[in-house]
Amino acid sequence: GRERRGKPIGRYLMCVSVTEGGTQIAVLEGRNLIEHYLSRPADDVSEIHGNVYLAKVQNVLPGMEAAFVDIGTPKNAVLYRGDLQFDPEEVEGGGKARIEQVLRAKQTILCQVTKNPIAHKGARLTQEVSLPGRFVVLVPNSTTYGISKRLPDGERKRLRGILDRVKPAQHGIIVRTAAENITAEELERDVGRLVQQWNDIEALSKKSQAPSLLYREPEAVFRFIREEFTKDYRGVMIDDRDLYEKVSTYVQSVNPALADRVQFYDGDSEPLPLFERHHVHEQLRKAVDRKVWLPSGGSLIIEHTEALTVIDVNTGKNVGRSSLEETVFRNNLEAAEEIARQLRLRDIGGIIVIDFVDMDERQNRDAVAKTLRDALARDKTRTQVFDISDLGLVEMTRKRIGEGLLESFSSLCEDCDGRGVSLDQELLLAGGRA
């Protein structure tokens, strides 16, 4: 990779800190924390996204077009009609068959977790398994064929030519953005490794009894390096010797050109712990606050509810210089940029409603929506943004895989049961005694 004064150049730095409670991964752009993940120990049932199971159908609910499935976790997982895979010719009703025509209680099926269990909801499943590698994703027994749209047209054409030669006939392939400029040998090796992985899963499924785990996704740090670690990173710093050795060996095998960017941070000999040296704790504390200040004095208030997340935009101390419309417009533009940053940092998923300060001019509303969409384009998690309503509200969604930052570091308050208020019981009872 490129260097300056003997040190690698890159926009990003990954800091990995290991404690008894789990492994924390912080991604910094310059000095700013932009992403954070808390990885629980491998046997934690709250972190099973990507795992493949031989599962047993518990019961089928035609009215919900879903089935509850036992994968061996405390809570049954759920499989919806749209996530089934079956041969239409073998089922009554063909391609439009109802879920009860495809599944029955006690049936054994092979499936993969697409969403971790959250709160009272069980994990979500699919029967369309996908196995991610460094450069490609293998979709077994599928006709899927795709190349990342983020790659230039010329590179897409070159990769398509290689794929035509190495793609297994019975499996689908999706080429990732990380495949840019790789050799035919590297692509072929990645495909071969994934095909072998799938063959191992199939072989294990034939000699296992449901429910059983057939494939466990590697822990978060390896997933992150597999999918994100490129020449844009100036380094990966790890404060645990064992994990450093494992990660170093892994990077040497999948991306040897970047192996020297993986470094051990010896907390015993350094004056400050890794996260303190890079001001991660300080930024994390701010990232769990309800209130976020904007550069010109405005603010965001971020509130979580069972159904959705609400973000309220305020002008606050921002009194502007010209007209009210211009002040509000500039404040909303700042808010749009900051909201995109906060969603990514806090890993907020599901339905999100943003209450921007009211703007009279349509072109200003459109400009704010465009700024939000452009800022979200830097987020690798899938989002969908709808236009600003006449009330100044924006509805959007961001794919949720597991718990967000706040849930990772908190538990429900026992005093108020998560309501955020304490009821005046004496006053309530006094009304009945009047």
- At 242-267, the pLDDT tens digits run 999 999 999 998 888 899 999 999 98
Cβ proximity of 111 and 103 under 8 Å: no
Percent of the chain with pLDDT over 70: 95
What pLDDT band is residue 428 in, cutting at 50, 70 and 90? confident
Question: For residue range 102-133, what is the model confidence (pLDDT) as tens digits?
Answer: 999 999 999 999 998 887 889 999 999 999 99
Question: What's the pLDDT tens digit per position in 351-375?
Answer: 999 999 988 888 999 999 999 999 9
Mean pLDDT of 188-216: 95
- pLDDT reported for residue 409: 81
Place of tokens 């769990």: 288
Q: Which backbone phi and psi does 335 adopt, to 5 degrees?
A: -65, -40
Give the least confident one: 167-176, 341-350, 387-396, 408-417: 408-417
> Taking 80 as the threshold, does the pLDDT of residue 179 lie above it?
yes
pLDDT at 318: 66
The residue assigned the tokens 């599901």 is 350
Question: What pLDDT is stored for residue 421 in this prediction?
Answer: 83
Inform me whether the pLDDT recorded for 178 exceeds 70. Answer: yes
User: By three-state DSSP, how is residue 383 classified?
Assistant: strand
Task: Give the percent of the chain with pLDDT over 90.
Answer: 62
Kindly list the strands in the beta sheet with 233-238, ordered across the sheet, starting from the edge strand earlier in the chain.
Answer: 32-39, 22-29, 12-19, 233-238, 262-264
Residue 348, amino acid: I
The pLDDT of residue 379 is above 70: yes
Position 199 scores a pLDDT of 97
pLDDT band per the 50, 70, 90 thresholds, residue 31: very high
Query: Is the predicted pLDDT of residue 183 greater than 70, yes or no?
Result: yes
In angstroms, the CA 127 to CA 84 distance is 5
**Please, what is the average pLDDT of the chain?**
89
- Per-residue pLDDT tens digits for 226-235: 888 888 899 9
Cis (ω within 30 of 0) for the bond into 168? Answer: no
* Tally of residues, the chain: 434
Residue 325's Cβ-side half-sphere holds a number of Cα atoms within 13 Å equal to 7
What pLDDT is stored for residue 147 in this prediction?
A: 93
Domain ranges of the chain: 1-41+220-287, 52-128, 290-408
Determine the pLDDT at residue 3: 53
Q: Is the CB of residue 125 less than 8 Å from the CB of residue 111?
A: yes
Q: How far apart are CA 354 and CA 232, in angstroms?
A: 32
Distance in angstroms (rounded) separating the CA atoms of residues 262 and 79? 39
CATH no. of 52-128 = 2.40.50.140
Task: Report residue 295 as tokens.
Answer: 């550069």
Under CATH, which number does the domain 1-41+220-287 receive? Answer: 3.30.420
- Predicted TM-score (pTM) of the model is 0.81
